[in-house]
Chain A
Amino acid sequence: MMEEAASQLERDHVHSVYDKIAPYFNDSRYKAWPKVRQFLLDLPPGSIVADIGCGNGKYLHINKEVFKLGCDVCRPLVDFAWSQGHEVQMCDGLRLPYRDGCFDAVLSIAVIHHFSTKERRIRAIKEMARTLRVGGRIMIYVWAMEQKRRKFEKQDIFVPWNPNPHLSSSFNRDDTKPRRRAAAQSVSEAIDNAENYRKVRSTSSVADEEDATQAVPQQRTQRLWFFSRSLDSVFDFGSLAISWPSSRDLRHLPSATGENEGNKPNQRARGRGLIKQVSSFFSPPSVIGSEEDVFDSDTDLQKDRNDPGGPSNPTNNNGKENQGVSVSLAQECGSLALPDLISLQQENLRQSEDQSAGGPVGTGRQEGTQSPEEQVEASCLRYYHVFREGELAELIEHHVEELHVTHNYFDHANWCVVAEKVQLWKI
């Protein structure tokens, strides 16, 4: 049944990935999008706000005059938020444990794009609307299909999580931005390193285009390489002729007899089959270059044809054209909603500085893993449904009549909607 498959997909490619990458998130997710911050600051004192899918709680410290609570499915992230002094719970966006109409405002920042079917996305929005009081407002942010200079090929994608991109240089930029209050946990060592911390801030800050150009050329290229590689690594369902959840291509997978699989092992097998398909495109490897093999020629980005020596010879093989494209991409990346990828880069700058220079190149997989690299890559793929322009607003207008859209805009690679809960009168 679709519901089970959808839920399995989310378990494998959202929940379990966040569980694994949670330690890296803590240093990357400190930054609040300014418009979200403003939304919170504009709330009347004494309001009650819920951050649904709060992650490590980065919005929960904003505005001391309002009562905030957060929830998420990811235990390590929720634990971290609690350690920062926030009220948080574990729960599932499709079944919120809050009574009707108890919130004055609700946030859903970069959450519902992880639901794998339209129906589940609608349910998630309806659940949040249920908990809003009449007149209350909700702000929803989702990844946009249309990025500034590139559009994702398809809407249903897997984005790999690469914990170890092996960049060996560090940035030497001044950053005068104030430090966020320090984290209590020892979860992320990168936080201890104040300099990396500031760098992370600067790379993910709002007006970032100038930052990219300030970087030393060689460093910038390495950074570019990382970014362009990451975006190119977006796993395009369409290019593999597998689209989820279309049944057309399930014939590639262990016998999917359609509707009622009922049987759990069958579901898992189907899921695994998909993953095998996915992972077979990441050829074995021990060189970074292997992932480039995945890319179609019809992506609008040039592949980095680095030699297997990896980042130590970052630019030699790149045509000028490559660099040109990569440069513009990285400049965009600075302002893209990819704080997790950015911070990982920083995390690993620090790591690679600590490690011996001769460390293995391109093993670029999660440390300590013994499993075949294909499996690791596949297991760290995060599922996203990226939204087209207008899709989120339409979804609400057509399917969630208790919400009335008041604002609809594009913000740093996200589509954003603000909506107000309205009283429905049934005759």
Chain B
Amino acid sequence: MKLLTHNMLTSHVKGVTKGYPLLIKATEVKVNEVDFNPKFVCRMIPKLEWSALVQAADQLGHREDLPGELVPDYEKNEDFLKKVHRVLLEVEVIEGCLQCPESGREFPISRGIPNMLVNEDEA
């Protein structure tokens, strides 16, 4: 699971109103090399919940110097874009779980795949 994906994921346990963002507890993390496409990263940024991304990167110990707030004029800031690229697309959780911030319910991640299925009674 990449952090770009994580940025979209939310808990949908019954009754939960604040199921986002999911907390990440990772037991295995990989960092891959992915081709850097600055335009792509640029276009992704407005679609992200920025603070959720920073928090997730932090939880994985991969935040490095990613700023807590979006820098102005980031479109031309290649340095910044590279950092975002790394965190969004290169860091990958292979094993661990995602935890609903409100209910505490854990969704396992195994072999890189989060299992977001809930039981009938939970949803």
Binding site for B on A (CB under 8 A): 4, 7, 44-48, 65, 67, 69, 71, 73, 78-79, 82, 87-92, 95-99, 102-104
B107 and chain A: residue at smallest CB distance:
A97
Inter-chain CA distance A87–B32, complex, in Å, is 14
B20 in contact with A90 (CB, 8 Å): no
Residues of A within 8 A of B8 (CB): 48, 69, 98-99, 102-103
Q: Is B117 an interface residue (CB 8 A)?
A: yes
Least CB distance, A54 to chain B, in whole angstroms: 12
A89 in contact with B39 (CB, 8 Å): no
- For B123, give its contact among A69, A79, A89, A95 (CB under 8 Å): A95
Inter-chain CA distance A59–B19, complex, in Å, is 29
Residues of B within 8 A of A44 (CB): 43
B43 in contact with A45 (CB, 8 Å): yes
- For A97, give its contact among B11, B43, B44 (CB under 8 Å): B11
B39 in contact with A45 (CB, 8 Å): yes
Stretch at the interface among B23-31, B60-68, B108-116: B108-116
Residues of B within 8 A of A92 (CB): 117-118
Interface residues of B in 6-61 (CB under 8 A from A): 7-12, 20, 37, 39-40, 42-44, 47, 49
Binding site for A on B (CB under 8 A): 1-2, 4-5, 7-12, 20, 37, 39-40, 42-44, 47, 49, 107, 111-118, 120, 123
Q: Contacts A7-B120, A48-B47, A92-B117 hold; do A87 and B111 have CB atoms under 8 A apart? A: no
Q: Contacts A45-B39, A46-B39, A97-B10 hold; do A79 and B113 have CB atoms under 8 A apart? A: yes
Residues of A within 8 A of B12 (CB): 95-97
Task: Show 23 A/B contacts (Cβ-Cβ < 8 Å), sorted by A.
Answer: A46-B44, A48-B44, A65-B40, A67-B4, A69-B8, A71-B116, A78-B113, A79-B111, A79-B113, A87-B2, A87-B5, A88-B113, A89-B5, A91-B115, A91-B117, A92-B117, A95-B12, A95-B118, A97-B12, A99-B20, A102-B7, A102-B8, A102-B47
Least CB distance, A9 to chain B, in whole angstroms: 14
- For B116, give its contact among A48, A87, A89 (CB under 8 Å): A89
Least CB distance, B46 to chain A, in whole angstroms: 9
A90 in contact with B39 (CB, 8 Å): no
Inter-chain CA distance A82–B117, complex, in Å, is 17
Inter-chain CA distance A78–B1, complex, in Å, is 13
Inter-chain CA distance A95–B11, complex, in Å, is 10
B117 in contact with A73 (CB, 8 Å): yes
Residues of B within 8 A of A65 (CB): 37, 40
Inter-chain CA distance A82–B111, complex, in Å, is 8
Residues of B within 8 A of A47 (CB): 43
B113 in contact with A90 (CB, 8 Å): yes
